[in-house]
Amino acid sequence: MFTGRKEELRHLQNIIKSEKSLIGVIYGRRRIGKSELIKKAFEKEKVLIFEGLENRPKQDQIDSFMFQLHHQSCKRAEIRKIKTWREAFMLLFEELEHNPAHVAFDEFQWMANYRREIVADLKMVWDIYISKIKGTTLILCGSIASFMINKVLKSGALYGRTELVIHLKGFLLPDTQKMLRDKGETEVIESQMILGGVPKYLDIIREKTSLYIALEELGFSETGYLTNEYDRIFISHFGKNPEYERIVRVLAEHPYGLFRGQIAEKARVDLGGGLTKQLNNLESAGFISSSTPFHKGHNSRLLKYRLSDPYLRFYFSFILPNLKKIRSGVHKGLFARIMQGSSFNTWMGLAFEYLCMDHAGKISSILGFPGIEFSFGPYFEAHGKNKSGVQADLLFDRKDNVITLCEMKYSLAPVGMDVIKDVERKAEILRKKFRKKTVQKVLISRSSPTRNLTASGYFYRVIRPGEFFSV
């Protein structure tokens, strides 16, 4: 089921309808819906779609391309044994010359074996031959963002030649609700917290009786889809490189994030240029995110990294520690027991904070200042060598001289007066640091505040997560 993506679909359809011959690039992590977007955009058009083979050598990729060309061509073009991509693309041109169509290369990084060579060959054939066929659109699609950015978009061959670039990300709550249209508000929110807005994951849970029953079956059984998903998505991105896995494991153990030096020390990774590349690759893949304090520029050296992918956070916290039991096949009801424990409640509280950060734009609309220029992010300080100081996860620094401090709570019990002490400690630090600004306190909570807390008037506004759907 194709849901959401209206803006991306409109942009893609616009270049398809152009009379010019144009190139578009789409990238995003696996399971995010890239292939579905392409199919939807071209559903009323003639298109040849070629898909790369995962972890196969160049000759296998070329042979597969020729096989796909043979079966998609109008006259069943002969399957020839050729050895270069230039020859393969010339045969594609011969087909398009007689039978015009749009072209899409899916999982382009696999076709390329992560090398630039294919890009140069494609550019040559495109410029001299295929682009002369009026109205032909070429879409390059890939799930390895670092390759698509560095070796396609920034390559000397295609730099500045792409008409459209789409970085496809996970759904926010309004589109997640559309996918899970038969589920209640709480299940939709918790699906987003645990699995993120990844269309494939949402698709496999929506037919289940409940989210928790789906997780038991899919994440805590020997052959469950989510049990084995880590190997499929992470290994396909980074192979067997142990340093990448050590980095994400360390970040999973520190949900409030780590500085580069801390990551290097705890993950046993060289602090030099190699770590910078690894962190950039993990971030471009959508597995981790970096942030500077809300009042600092993006070039600040005070940079923290977090494991931001919800599925990976869930996997490292609950599936991996129980993997031996899960694969034994004899331990039933594992997740049912996990979800009743305090560690799961704590984890859900942190997941809710991440959800609120992802919906910062919605929060600004709810609070009524989207027209006022603002920056947002966490607030933290570093004391001594890479040691993290005060932590507040979501603040808005507004041009009207107000700092909005958000406190996020996810519990069934009503939020009582005891929350004031913790929030006031953070507010006082902000007042001393930013003396010219007013500190406005906002509570974002699953449960209602107690009567006493409401009567105190301490919080400017109390936001319930259900409000994220309607803004």
Averaged pLDDT for residues 251-270: 94
* CA–CA separation, 321 and 318 (whole Å): 6
Supply the CATH number for residue 328's domain: 1.10.10
Domain match, 266 and 396 both:
no
- Indicate if the pLDDT at residue 352 is higher than 90: yes
- Indicate if the pLDDT at residue 75 is higher than 80: no
Residue given tokens 């296998």 in the structure block: 60
The CA-based angle 244-30-57, given to 5 degrees, is 75
Q: Please check whether residue 79 lies inside any domain of the structure.
A: yes
Note whether 445 and 462 are within 8 A (CB). yes
Tally DSSP H helices, then E strands, for the chain: 22, 13
Q: Please check whether residue 314 lies inside any domain of the structure.
A: yes
The CA-based angle 135-140-145, given to 5 degrees, is 150
Domain match, 196 and 259 both:
yes
**Of 208-217, 234-243, 292-301, highest mean pLDDT:** 208-217
Angle between helices 360-367 and 342-358 (to 10 degrees): 70
- Indicate if the pLDDT at residue 77 is higher than 70: no
What's residue 376's pLDDT? 92
Beta bridge partners of 463: 444
Q: Strands 304-307 and 47-51, how do they pair?
A: unpaired
Domain match, 137 and 69 both:
yes
What's residue 455's pLDDT? 97
Domain match, 246 and 221 both:
yes
Q: Please check whether residue 201 lies inside any domain of the structure.
A: yes
The answer for 178, left when phi > 0, alpha when psi is -120 to 50, beta otherwise, is: alpha
Domain match, 266 and 312 both:
yes
Q: How far is CA 235 from CA 10, 84, 92, 202, 248, in A?
A: 33, 28, 32, 22, 13
Domain match, 388 and 405 both:
yes
Averaged pLDDT for residues 300-304: 86
Number of folded domains that form the chain: 3
What's residue 237's pLDDT? 79
Q: Strands 304-307 and 258-259, how do they pair?
A: antiparallel
- Please, which pLDDT band fits residue 388 given cuts at 50, 70 and 90? very low
Non-local (6+) Cβ contacts of 171 within 8 A are 3, 4, 179, 192, 197, 198, 199, 202
Tell me the per-residue pLDDT of 416-461, one tens digit each, with 9 for 90 and over. 999 999 999 999 999 999 999 999 999 999 999 999 999 999 999 9
User: Tokens standing for 121?
Assistant: 């060959």
What's residue 451's pLDDT? 97
Note whether 37 and 26 are within 8 A (CB). yes
Lowest mean pLDDT among 32-46, 284-298, 371-385, 395-409: 371-385
Q: How far is CA 415 from CA 85, 193, 359, 460, in A?
A: 63, 20, 21, 15
Averaged pLDDT for residues 20-37: 93
Non-local (6+) Cβ contacts of 243 within 8 A are 267, 269, 274, 278
Provide the mean pLDDT of the chain: 91
Averaged pLDDT for residues 375-388: 70
Q: Which residue has the higher pLDDT, 79 or 98?
A: 98
Domain match, 203 and 322 both:
yes
pTM of the model: 0.90
Domain end among 167, 195, 222: 167
Domain residues for 385? Answer: 359-469
Domain end among 150, 167, 184: 167
Tell me the per-residue pLDDT of 183-237, one tens digit each, with 9 for 90 and over. 999 999 999 999 999 999 999 999 899 999 999 999 999 999 999 999 888 877 7
Q: Please check whether residue 1 lies inside any domain of the structure.
A: no
What's residue 386's pLDDT? 45
Domain match, 299 and 344 both:
yes
Domain match, 156 and 198 both:
no
Domain end among 355, 377, 401: 355
